[in-house]
Amino acid sequence: MILSATNRLHMMDEAFLRRMSGKIFVGRPSSNARRRMLQTIPYWALEPELLDRLSTAR
């Protein structure tokens, strides 16, 4: 089994992509989902203002 990930699918080699048996698109998480992911970082390592800025970034 081979698992790969990219943010630049359009730059991937066509021959490589043909050999992949399946493709799964994972979209950008919502602001709330990003906030929940970032909240797993210890509270002392991430200031509340930075958490807000990162979770609402586009």
Whether the predicted pLDDT of 55 surpasses 90: no
- Residue 41: the pLDDT is 87
CA distances from 27 to 1, 7, 12, 48 (A): 23, 10, 18, 25
Residue 20 placed within a domain: yes
pLDDT digits (tens, 9 = 90+) for 15-53: 998 988 888 888 889 999 999 998 898 878 888 888 888
The count of structural domains within the chain is: 1
**Token pair listed for 2:** 């081979």
- Residue 11: the pLDDT is 93
- Residue 23: the pLDDT is 86
CA-derived radius of gyration, the chain: 17
- The residue range of the domain holding 39 is 9-55
Residue 1 placed within a domain: no
Residue 51 placed within a domain: yes
Whether the predicted pLDDT of 58 surpasses 80: no
Residue 4 placed within a domain: no
Residue 2 placed within a domain: no
